[in-house]
C-alpha cells in the first residue's frame, strides 16, 4: 500500500532525529530517499530501511521463501513457504511442473493454503484458498503484478506478535488483535460488522467482508455473547489493532524467538512476526524495512523510539 509522504512517520522520525543532532538532512524522491550528512560522513536511508542491514540480509528478509529456508537450516521453528516463479523468471529454474506442485500442496493441506507475493508487506495480494479454482485465480492475480509468489499451509493462528529489534534489543513488542464483534442474539453478523466500522469506511468495508466471510454467514444472527472474528489475517492494515505486550512469559518467549530469527538471517534492524499455532511459537515473517504507520496512529512515541534507536547505531 503506497503511503503519501505527509503520512509516513519514517520520514518525520528521521528528519526530527537529524535536526535535533545537527545532522544535515535532505528528503528526496518523494520521501523514499533521505540523505543525511554529519561532517565528512554521508549516510542514506531508503524506503523504510535506515541502512543498518547488509544487502544480503535485507534481500533474504524481504524474500519469504528464502527466509523460511534460512530459518529451517538454522533450526528456528517457522511457517514453511514454497517459492514459485512467474513466467518471466521460469527460465531460471530447473524445477518443472509448478502447477502440479501447487496442486499437490493443496491436496496435502485440507485446511487450505495461503498464497502471497514472495516479496511485499502490509498483506497486499494475500489469499487463502481451499479449492483448485480459487488457487488458480489467486496465482493468476499475483503473477500478473509480481514476478514470483510463495505458498504456505494455512494454519489457525492463536496469537500473532510483532517484535521490532535493534541489535537484539526489543524496542517494540505488540500483539495484533483482529477485528471482532460480540453477538446480541438480535442482529445479523453483517449489521454488527458494519456498525463496528467507521461511517466513512462502510462502503469500502462491505466488499472486504463479503470476500472474508461469505454472504450466508453474514446474513445469520449471531447468538448473544458469541465472539466472531471479522478477518482471518492479523495485518494492521487489514483492521487488526496493536496491543502492547506486558512483561511476562509470552513476551519473553516471542523476544527469544525473534532474536534467534534475526541472528540466523543477520538482521540488525527489523520487525519479526511470531505466531502461536497448536500452542507453539513459530516465525511467520521477517521484515528488513520497518514500517510503523499503523502502529504510530495509537503509539507514535514507540515508532519514534524505534527509529531513534536504529539511527543511534548508525551514527554511533
pLDDT in tens, 289-304: 898 888 888 899 999 9
DSSP strands (E only) in 203-256: 227-229, 241-244
Contacts with 126 (C-beta within 8 Å, 6 or more apart), sequence order = 114, 115, 116, 233, 235
CA atoms within 13 A on the CB side of 118: 21
- Burial class of residue 221 (count of CB atoms within 10 Å of its CB; 0-12, 13-18, 19+): middle
Count of positions (residues) in the chain: 316
CATH of 80-154, one of 3.90.1150.10, 3.30.1490.20, 3.40.50.2000, 3.20.20.60: 3.30.1490.20
Where does the pLDDT of residue 3 fall: very low under 50, low under 70, confident under 90, or very high at 90 and above? very low
CB 3 within 8 A of CB 293: yes
Inform me whether the pLDDT recorded for 120 exceeds 80. Answer: no
Gap between the Cα atoms of 180 and 166, Å rounded? 33
pTM of the predicted model, to two decimals?
Answer: 0.83
Give residue-wise pLDDT tens across range 26-52: 999 988 999 999 999 999 999 899 999
Give residue-wise pLDDT tens across range 165-180: 999 999 999 998 776 6
Inform me whether the pLDDT recorded for 256 exceeds 60. Answer: yes
Domain boundary assignment for the chain: 5-51, 80-154, 182-229
Where does the pLDDT of residue 189 fall: very low under 50, low under 70, confident under 90, or very high at 90 and above? confident
- Burial class of residue 140 (count of CB atoms within 10 Å of its CB; 0-12, 13-18, 19+): exposed
Amino acid at each position: 500500500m503506497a503511503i503519501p509522504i505527509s503520512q509516513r512517520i519514517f520520514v518525520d522520525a528521521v528528519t526530527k532525529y537529524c535536526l535535533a543532532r545537527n545532522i544535515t538532512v535532505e528528503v528526496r524522491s518523494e520521501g523514499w530517499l533521505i540523505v543525511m550528512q554529519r561532517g565528512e560522513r554521508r549516510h542514506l536511508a531508503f524506503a523504510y530501511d535506515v541502512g543498518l542491514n547488509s544487502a544480503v540480509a535485507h534481500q533474504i528478509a524481504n524474500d519469504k521463501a528464502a527466509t523460511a529456508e534460512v530459518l529451517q537450516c538454522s533450526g528456528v521453528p517457522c511457517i514453511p513457504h514454497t517459492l514459485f516463479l512467474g513466467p518471466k523468471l521460469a527460465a531460471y529454474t530447473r524445477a518443472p511442473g509448478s502447477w502440479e506442485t501447487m496442486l499437490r500442496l493443496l491436496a496435502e493441506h485440507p485446511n487450505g493454503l495461503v498464497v502471497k507475493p514472495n516479496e511485499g508487506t502490509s498483506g497486499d495480494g494475500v489469499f487463502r484458498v481451499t479449492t483448485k479454482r480459487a488457487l488458480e485465480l489467486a496465482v493468476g492475480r499475483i503473477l500478473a503484478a509480481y514476478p514470483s509468489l510463495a505458498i504456505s499451509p494455512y494454519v489457525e493462528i492463536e496469537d500473532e506478535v510483532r517484535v521490532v529489534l535493534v541489535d537484539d534489543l526489543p524496542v517494540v513488542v505488540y500483539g495484533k488483535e483482529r477485528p471482532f464483534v460480540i453477538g446480541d442474539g438480535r442482529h445479523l453478523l453483517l449489521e454488527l460488522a458494519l456498525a463496528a466500522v467507521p461511517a466513512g469506511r462502510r462502503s469500502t468495508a462491505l466488499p472486504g467482508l463479503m470476500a472474508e466471510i461469505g454472504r450466508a454467514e453474514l446474513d445469520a444472527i449471531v447468538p448473544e455473547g458469541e465472539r466472531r472474528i471479522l478477518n482471518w489475517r492479523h495485518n494492521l492494515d487489514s483492521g487488526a489493532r496493536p496491543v502492547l505486550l506486558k512483561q511476562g512469559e509470552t513476551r519473553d518467549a516471542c523476544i527469544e524467538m525473534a532474536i534467534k530469527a534475526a541472528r540466523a538471517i543477520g538482521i540488525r534492524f527489523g520487525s519479526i512476526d511470531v505466531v502461536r499455532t497448536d500452542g507453539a511459537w513459530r516465525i511467520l515473517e521477517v521484515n528488513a524495512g520497518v514500517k510503523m504507520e499503523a502502529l504510530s496512529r495509537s503509539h507514535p512515541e514507540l515508532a519514534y523510539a524505534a527509529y531513534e534507536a536504529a539511527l543511534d547505531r548508525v551514527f554511533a
